[in-house]
Amino acid sequence: MKQALIILIRAVAAIAILGTVVPLFSSEEWYVRMFDFPRLQLFFLAVISLLLFYFFDYQHRKRGKLLLFALIATVVYQSINIYPYTILAPVQTKQTERDPSDTTHVSVMVANVLMTNRDYGLLVDMVKRYQPDVLLTLESDAAWQEALKKVTDHYPYRMEVPLPNTYGMHLYSRLPLRQKKVSYILDNEIPSLKTYLQLRSGDWVELRGVHPKPPVPTEEEHSRKRDAEIIIVGKEAAASKYPVIVAGDFNDVAWSPTTRLFQEVSQLLDPRVGRGFFSTYHAHYPLFRWPLDHVFHSNHFKLVDMQRLDGINSDHFPIYIKLSYEPHEKYEQTAPAPDEDTQEEAAETIEEGAEEAKKEGKTPDTLTVK
C-alpha cells in the first residue's frame, strides 16, 4: 500500500513539474501551448504532491532534495501566475462610485452558445433577466439567429454573421451602432467584428468582438494564427482615438504569454484582476475549467458589476459585465506597461501568424502586416 502511494505521489509530482516546465519553451505547437491553460490545476497538484511527498516519501538524499526543490519552485511559479486573479491582488479596474442608474453605464453579455446546443430558451431567459445593452454570441449559426429573435427583436442595432463552422458571431445592441465592419483577419472562415457604440451620454466607444481558433489538433496544430489575431486586435485598439471595449472567446487564458502581450500592446485593462478567475470553460467539468471568455477595456471605464452567469447547456458559461464611462478619472487606473521588447515581440507574433495564414491559402487578399 505504501509503495503504491509513493508511486502515485511521484507521478502527480511529475505531472505538476512537467506541466509547468513545458510551456516555458517558445513553441507554438498545441501540445506545448495547452499547458498555458491549467495553471490553477497544476498549482493544486504541486501543493498536494509537495505535502504528500514531504510527509510520506521525503528522504535526505540528493534525489529527494532535488524533487522537493522542484515542487517548491513549481508552487511558487504557478502562484505568481495565478495571484493577479485572486482577491489578494490589487484590482486593475477600479469600482465605480457613481449611481447605478447613471447614463454613462453600458452592460455587455458574452455567450459562446456551442453551435450544436439547441436549448435556446436558457439563453433567451437569461437575456430577458439581465437586459444587457449589448449581447455578443459566439458559435451562433442560422438556427440560433432565428431562435434568439424572441429577445433580439428588442435590439434595433445588430451585426449578424451566421456560420455553420462554429465561428458564427452575432452582435445585438439597444444602443446605436455605426461603421459596422466584419473582418476576416487571418482566415477567411473566421470573422471578427468592429463597430462604434453610442452610450446614452452621447459618447462613442469602439467595440470589438473576437473568436480566433484554438490550438487543438481538431482546429489548429499550433497557436500562431490565434496569437497573431489577438495581437493585431490589440494594436488596432491601441491606435484607436476612442475608448475601447474588446470582448469574446480568445481561446486563450488570462495569464498566458499571448494575452499578457495583448494587454501590453493594447493598453487595455482586465476587470478580473484582483476579483477572481471568472472561469468560463469547461462548463461541464469543474476540475478542468479556466477563463477563456474575456472583456477588456480602456482606462476610460470603471466597473459597476461583473458576473459569470449560470450554464446554458453550452461548454461555456456566459459572462456579464457592466461598465461606467468615466474618462475624466482614467488616470486613476494603470494598464500593464509595455517594455522595450513588447513591440518587437508583437511584430514577430503577427508576422509568424500572417505567414502561416498565407501558407494555408485562407488569408483574405487585403491582409497587411504592420
Nearest to 231 by CA among 353, 340, 139: 353
What's the CA gap between 133 and 105, in Å, rounded? Answer: 9
Residues 111 and 77 in one domain: no
62 three-class SS: helix
In a domain, 194, yes or no: yes
Residues 150 and 277 in one domain: yes
What's the CA gap between 230 and 252, in Å, rounded? Answer: 9
Residues 10 and 129 in one domain: no
What confidence score (pLDDT) does residue 62 get?
75
Q: Which of 85, 120, 144 is the last residue of a domain?
A: 85
Residues 67 and 150 in one domain: no
Residues 182 and 262 in one domain: yes
281 three-class SS: strand
Report the number of distinct structural domains present in the chain: 2
What is the per-residue burial (b if ≥16 Cβ within 10 Å, else e) of 75-103?
Answer: bebbeebbebbeeeeebbbbebeeeeeee
Domain that holds residue 347: 105-353
Q: Which three cell numbers stand for residue 245?
A: 471595449
Using 70 as the pLDDT threshold, list the residues of the chain that sit under it.
1-2, 57-58, 60, 100-102, 362-370
Residues 67 and 141 in one domain: no
What confidence score (pLDDT) does residue 365 get?
47
Residues 196 and 295 in one domain: yes
Q: What is the pTM of this model?
A: 0.93
